[in-house]
Amino acid sequence: MAMALEGIKVVDLSRYAPGFYVSMYLGDMGADVIRVEEPATSGRRAEFKDVPLEYKAMEDQRGAAYNALERNKRKIALNLKDEDAREVFYKLVADADVVLEGSRPGVAQRLGVDYETCREINPRIVYCSLTGFGQDGPYARQAGHDINYISIAGALGLVGQRDGTPAIPANLVADYAGGAQFAIIGVLTALLARQRTGKGQFVDIAMTDGVVSLMVQFTQQFFKDGDVPRPASMRLNGGVAHYNVYQAQDGRWVAVGANEPYFFANLCKLVGRPDLAEHQFDPERGGEIESALREAFKTRPAQEWHDLMAAEDTCVTKVYDLQEVFADPQIVHRQMVMELQHETVGTVRQVGFPVKLSETPASVRRFAGPKGRDTDDLMRELGYAPEEIQRLREKGSVL
């Protein structure tokens, strides 16, 4: 069965998780992803000791088997500071469709792997740069991580406690939603445009821009009335009793999203307080309703509330940890956890595919592997003789 992106060749220069996610998705959908790695990590990044799974060299087969971010990729290790290694990269670009990179502005140009250089080689190339603040502007070269991008974009100021203390939502909002997801959209949009124009283009993705865009529901109200939302001040960020979290008898939490009156009425009935239903939108009764719900939820364990509410027309769920996520029947049914067979490790689990296509579904065809695993094969495809590959390896151009 043909895959959605079969025939699309992606050269991935990224060094961090947002870029890995972009090429993972493209690879899952059938693209031939060639991950260009450094033969050896150097500079300040080499000093980073607490290395997450996605950044490890994958010499450990068990680590590689579970590394979903690196699946469906062929791997070549090139020292891009070396002229001969850059020539290998240019040959990869010559018939590629997409180049992905995630360094701060100016780095790719200094290495000679920037868009202008690639466009001279291949005018049809779609070149995506995924950075924190974008290619221009006063912050373009400023360092940052997810927490910094969501703070500048205003998202961090929306989540937290009533005293104004922000809550840090892991690195999901900027790295993966504002960055990687918009990069995927940008790449696919540019490929569609190329079908019409015959030309590639530069795709400039800033994680901060992406988060600002995700804030559209709040920005439109701000532009209209000047309203500045604060933590726990709005209907959707914990400012009302019927859209909030409550601690259960066992110390676990339940999430209540009973916005509509009929959902709230069912909730009030199930917690034994039907008298509260008619006062849902009365601001003078908000504190009373919240206190009543807090007391009610303390009378049963979280799982009991979850099971009770699931059988009724309510919007109440248990706040899961990851162990519970992948045991949940809905998550299992939707195949968001997959069991795969690794040739040496055996059965492993990885996260599934969020986009379900009826005719061209995604698949896992290749596990992650050690750095430079496919260097020889890829260079042979580019026309390099075995003795030339060996010469470049001895020189340190490739691994």
Residues marked as catalytic: 145, 175
Q: Give counts: helices (H), strands (E), the chain.
A: 16, 11
Alpha-carbon distance of 364 to 354, in angstroms, equals 13
Under 8 Å between Cβ of 65 and 137: no
Q: What CA–CA distances, in Å, run from 156 to 35, 149, 168, 208, 373?
A: 33, 9, 7, 12, 40
- Dihedral sign (CA 375, 339, 52, 206): positive
Strand order in the sheet with 98-101: 73-77, 32-37, 9-12, 98-101, 126-131, 201-206
Amino acid at the residue 271: V
List all residues 6 or more positions away from 91 whose beta carbon is below 8 Å from its beta carbon.
382, 383
Q: What CA–CA distances, in Å, run from 390 to 91, 384, 386, 393, 399?
A: 18, 10, 6, 5, 9
Question: Given the structure tokens 């693209």, which residue do they identify?
Answer: 31
Q: Closest Cα partner for 148 from 177, 168, 176?
A: 168
Alpha-carbon distance of 165 to 247, in angstroms, equals 19
User: What is the DSSP-derived secondary structure letter of residue 177?
Assistant: I
